[in-house]
Amino acid sequence: MTKEEKYLALLPQIQALLAGETDEVARMSNIVAMLNSEFGFWWTGFYRVASSEELVLGPFQGPVACMRIAKGRGVCGTSWNEERTVIVPDVELFPGHIACSSESRSEIVVPCWKRGRIAAVLDIDSKDLNTFDEVDRKYLEEVASLLYGKERDIWFAAGCFWGAQKFFKLVDGVVFTEVGFANGWEIDPTYKQVYTDETGHAECVHVRYDPEKVSLERLVNLFLNMIDPFSLNKQGEDEGTRYRTGVYYDNGEDREVIKTVLGSFENKAGRKSAVELQPLRCFYKAEEYHQNYLDKNPGGYCHLSPAIFELARMKPHE
């Protein structure tokens, strides 16, 4: 197989492997493993953006590496600073090269974009000169795009998470859901702990969606129509701070979208809702028993009316 044929075969395998996995480190780790297995590069790994001025070492395969790299320094720092893929035929000739190992002879660094900004770089080194070319650039940029993908994430607290998860799974454009506990102070709580209302957590559904198929505006509107937005700490017969309603985001741009939708809804209603709008501080996945609960238990408890699920199934134009 040619190098291009190897990349073409590898890309769908990486995409399939990453499907459904939300953890960044896990995704990075398997991308590295698959690239290393296929091509046997001397060093393959990621550096994550740790601050506005520094990269920090992420998952990698190969010899010990530099743990932190300043923006603009070395090949990785240059790729991040200049927002472009950098191919270096001979690292000794690269201005400001950081010599983590004398065995590295050539290198390619590819920025990984997440919502309009670089969140990491993919760094690959070879023991040979002139290893990387435009074929590597083309396909490694595709690989890098798979790390974060086009999907986006949002978290909804909508009362009991069993019915809420079933609801969002029915929405066209939602590609992944999981239930858990959000924005409390207890680290990695159990369901029994959250049930006491002493952890500060809300039952929550993590929703990953394809913005080309469903907008954040639509998801928030569906959420507001699914819940009782004016009920404080109570949905259906479920009562307690763990059943409060809220929308939690991980991006400032999303906050403005949600704020606009929520404000429009409240203006039409003529009163303030009980829905809290906050950045996501933490989210802990609930026990496996709770994941897709109503799929496993079709007759199980659900505080939502059966009719509300038809709303989730409807297309935007219907």
For residues 47 and 67, membership in a common domain is answered with yes
66 a catalytic residue: no
Query: Under a CB-based contact definition with an 8 Å cutoff, are residues 280 and 248 in contact?
Result: yes
∠ at Cα 79 (76, 85), nearest 5°? 115
pLDDT in tens, 247-257: 999 888 899 99
pLDDT in tens, 6-38: 999 999 999 999 887 878 999 999 999 999 999
Nearest Cα neighbor of 107 from 119, 117, 121 is: 121
Q: What is the pTM of this model?
A: 0.68
**88: amino acid identity, one letter:** V
318 pLDDT band, cuts 50/70/90, is: low
For residues 35 and 118, membership in a common domain is answered with yes
pLDDT in tens, 207-264: 989 888 899 999 999 999 999 999 999 999 999 999 999 999 988 889 999 999 999 9
Catalytic residue among 160, 204, 282, 302: 160
Which of residues 128, 148, 168 is at a domain's end? 148
Q: Which spans in 60-190 are helix H?
A: 74-82, 134-148, 161-169
**Is the pLDDT assigned to residue 76 strictly greater than 90?**
yes
Query: Under a CB-based contact definition with an 8 Å cutoff, are residues 204 and 222 in contact?
Result: no
Residues spanned by the domain of 140: 3-148
**Is the pLDDT assigned to residue 198 strictly greater than 80?**
yes
Which of residues 120, 148, 176 is at a domain's end? 148
317 pLDDT band, cuts 50/70/90, is: low
- Residue 295 falls inside a structural domain: yes
For residues 251 and 291, membership in a common domain is answered with yes
HSE of 198, CA atoms in CB hemisphere, 13 A: 3
Q: CA 203 to CA 146: how far, in whole Å? A: 30
